Amino acid sequence: MPDDAFDGQTILLTGGTGSFGQHFARWVLTECRPTAVRIFSRDELKQSEMARVIDDPRLRFLLGDVRDRDRLRRAVEGVDLVIHAAALKQVPACEYNPFEAVRTNILGTQNVAEACLEAGVRRAVALSTDKAVSPANLYGATKLCAEKLFVQSNVYASGHDTRYSCVRYGNVVGSRGSVVPLFRDQRTQGQLTVTDRRMTRFWITLDQAVRFVARSAVEMRGGEIFVPKIPSTRILDLAEAVAPGVPVRYTGIRPGEKLHESLITGEESRRTVDAGWCYVVEPEHAFWEERRIAHATPVAEDFLYTSDQNTEWLDVEGLRRLLDGSAMTREAPTAAVV
């Protein structure tokens, strides 16, 4: 990624007080030279806490909700890049409050896309998740819909400079709501809870996720879904890495939970290319014909990118290094560097 990729740009982060937003803001203000970074979120307390932690005059805070289209229109005025990270993502909460999940994750994404087009924002990147692939719960279904909204927004942008793409990755190590903080709390109680011993998951560090999104924003042409090459781990190995020797109690798979997760399906493999630093799922539509990813090769027709069939794995020792922070790199994430 060029060192001057974000020089002189104004960047807006929806959901900017979340784990990703805070880390991205800190990284881009330290490593790059943007004109301003706007944090758009609805929690004034989190904004004030973030302002104390990141003391930089280029950081701007805008109170608002992605459900509010008028507020979004004002927020994106003069913005060069929008990173859409706002979402309701707790699976049980989305199941219990389905209307709210739809309003934020689907209608909110539509509002972001429309506001970007109206304001002439050149690039917009939406953050997605492995839960959007063959979704087994409402959260995943709303994120799948959000992906399709962002990809297809390029049709509405025909004749305009605005382009939309998505980034799809797996579980973020140590982020709020992940299993790592839960295991750390449970080890003091002398017992961990695991739903199923066979479970596997994709893992990416927060630092890797931030740098991957940044590079995707630079490389995008519009319509792509960028998927990082990241390792898998067995849930029991993760439990041993966090709490060695602590007994495990099995509780059974919860509604909407999968044994293994997928980042690219067999159906998507027909339009997926390997760009070296990542996989790219290309859109199936005519607007894509003139914007092929350079130096990328198609994957095999039977290619599957699932957590149980991954070629790269983190063992217990590798997980401990990752959790200690020693495995975080300054490059786009690949399985070889974690």
| Rounded-to-integer distance, Cα 333 and Cα 212, Å | 7
Give the number of other CB atoms < 10 A from CB of residue 28. 22
> If DSSP codes are grouped into helix, strand and coil, which group holds residue 75?
helix
| Rounded-to-integer distance, Cα 150 and Cα 132, Å | 13
Looking only at the bridges linking them, the beta strands covering 163-169 and 59-63 are unpaired
Catalytic residue among 131, 143, 229, 258: 131
Give the closest residue to 213 by CA, choosing from 124, 306, 112: 124
| Rounded-to-integer distance, Cα 144 and Cα 101, Å | 13
Angle at CA of residue 234, ends 91 and 197, nearest 5°? 75
Packed helices 138-156 and 108-119: angle between N→C axes, nearest 10 degrees? 20
Place of tokens 């699976």: 91
H or E stretch at 306? strand 305-306
| Rounded-to-integer distance, Cα 60 and Cα 326, Å | 31
131 counts as catalytic: yes
Catalytic residues: 131
